[in-house]
Structure 1
Amino acid sequence: MECEFYSIGKVEEICKITKKALRYYDKMGILSPDKIMDENGYRYYSKKNLLSVPMIKYYKQSGFKLEEMKEFLAGAPYTLFENSFRDKIDELKEQEKEIHLKLRSIEDWYGLIREAEMVLKNNVCNVSIKYIDRCQMTFLDQEYNYDYMDSIINIEFTNYIESIKNAITGPVIIQFPSFKDKVEGKCKNIRIMQETILKCDADKSIEYGGEMVISCYHIGSHSTIDETYKKIQDFISEYGYKCDEEVYERYVTDYWTTQDENKFVTEVFVKIKR
């Protein structure tokens, strides 16, 4: 005949749960032994009591804390289950949003690092024509003084994103209003942009991409980026392309990723006019 009670060691073996956890559950009033032998303090559990363990594991898997499980295990009314489960669903949905945001940010950054590695490994610095995918960008217009580090790691832009309760991902992109002024050191204003993750008001974002551009990667310090502008100018002249006046710099790897300027990778591109 099967034993009516099980020692704590046997419960550990049967239910795959540690003695430490069982003692803690007892302390919390979640799962207490049916009897404790006075002479040696040994704990014994009935088979019926052990059936609470799968329930505890399931509630734990579902994100409930021990304090929240207590009433469930005691046989709470359906209304308490309904309210608690609805609240837990709302709580987990918020956590899901946060995790998605974090995952998206890390995946996009990882993608930039991989892109830079391929550019550096293969010395990709020839001018080409490519298509840019369409997306929504959050932006901020600013004054510009040719301080790259201050523009890319941008305190004002970071504060602005926080003020509109949004989140951004991907590379920093700066739009310069004039290709010519940028090269000649006469640019006074810029538009800094990054892809927005959360939905925001129409006046706080712009549509970006969905167009063909003339593009060229620049490898190395931003102080020598005019060399890449010259390549693009020569390419436009040679093939007779008509391009917009604005020019963009997309910072694949920069001060956010490395202090070694030799490993900076910047994509310079200009939109082709239709």
Structure 2
Amino acid sequence: MSKEFYSIGKVGEMCKLTTKALRYYDKMGILSPDKVCDESGYRYYSKKNLLSVPIIKYYKQSGFKLEEMRAFLEGTTYDFFDKSFGNKINELNELEKEINLKKRSVKDWHDLIVEAQMVIKNNACDVAVKYINSNTLTFLEQDFKYDYMDSIINIEFTNYIDSIENAITGPVIIHFPSTKDKLKGKCDKVCIMQQAILKCKEELSIDFGGWMAVTCYHIGSHDNINDTYIKMEEWAKDHGYICSKDAYERYVTDYWTTNNIDKFVTEILIKIEKKS
């Protein structure tokens, strides 16, 4: 192999590294120059020494820190490699889970924003009938005081999710056990529901969907949402449907997304059956 030595500038050019990075590698003890001139302080590297650079880059690509690389480059046992690489795989698996969780949270929220945009753009507030797909949600029974902001951005529910070591995604859904009481301002108990990202124990889960529903989007403040309920009930009666006594509100966009209550989008769902 060539006995030629290369200056730090030349090494940076050959290996696509900055002189700052090379000096830092020297400081960390993973790539030091073969010789340093006493008078000028210039650093010189042999070709053999530079062959460590592709290995360092590969370790870096694999997620190893400089401190972790040192033992590999100095030479170690296969057992040490086996343990170190196994630990790195476990570390990256955990990182992958964390990234996937964040990615799903952002994607689900983005989907809701797109849905709300389409509803507002097309003023899609007509009553319709559709099948609600089956899903399993996590839930918490709560008192209800008609303070929508407090119920949707829900500290108690957030603390509950933390306590069961889970994470949530998608829209908040509130189940009102009695539509009649809700419209009269007499509803004092509700069930807050949302999609859990991690699998929940059976006792912490509730089934949602798997039935036909009369649905309608409500655009704007929750203060006048009763008007949409009345419209839905009248439509169902005129079209030969019987509404269940309970109802669900699915908050597509709300206080989580915007302070402009005129841009809130809520989907109301009421289970129905066709009159015989």
Relative to the length of structure 1, the TM-score reads 0.97
Superposed counterparts of 1:134-213, under 5 Å? 134-213=134-213
Match of 2:22 in 1: 22
1:212-248, Cα deviation, whole Å (9 max, x unpaired) = 2111000000000011101110111011112322100
Give the % identical residues: 65
Match of 2:74 in 1: 74
1:127 is the counterpart of 2:108: no
Q: Distance in 1 between matches of 2:99 and 2:136?
A: 21
Superposed counterparts of 1:33-52, under 5 Å? 33-52=33-52
Match of 1:56 in 2: 56
1:110-151, Cα deviation, whole Å (9 max, x unpaired) = 111111111111111000112223222010001111111111
Q: Distance in 2 between matches of 1:237 and 1:272?
A: 10
Asked whether the equivalents of residues 233 and 243 of structure 2 are also in contact (C-alpha less than 8 Å), the reply is no
Match of 2:214 in 1: 214
Task: Name segments (4+ residues, structure 1) moved above 3 Å.
Answer: none
Q: Distance in 1 between matches of 2:209 and 2:56?
A: 51
Q: Distance in 2 between matches of 1:28 and 1:209?
A: 58
Q: Which amino acid aligns with 2:177?
A: P
Q: Distance in 2 between matches of 1:153 and 1:188?
A: 18
Q: Which amino acid aligns with 1:230?
A: I
1:56-101, Cα deviation, whole Å (9 max, x unpaired) = 1111111111000000011110000000011111111111111111
Asked whether the equivalents of residues 2 and 47 of structure 2 are also in contact (C-alpha less than 8 Å), the reply is no
Match of 2:89 in 1: 89
Q: Distance in 2 between matches of 1:273 and 1:206?
A: 22
| Root mean square deviation, CA, Å | 1.3
Shift of 1:2: 5.9
Q: Which amino acid aligns with 2:106?
A: I
Q: Distance in 1 between matches of 2:227 and 2:243?
A: 19
Segments of structure 2 that go 5 or more residues without pairing to the other structure are none
Match of 1:230 in 2: 230
Q: Distance in 1 between matches of 2:7 and 2:150?
A: 66
Shift of 1:157: 0.5
Match of 1:5 in 2: 5
Relative to the length of structure 2, the TM-score reads 0.96
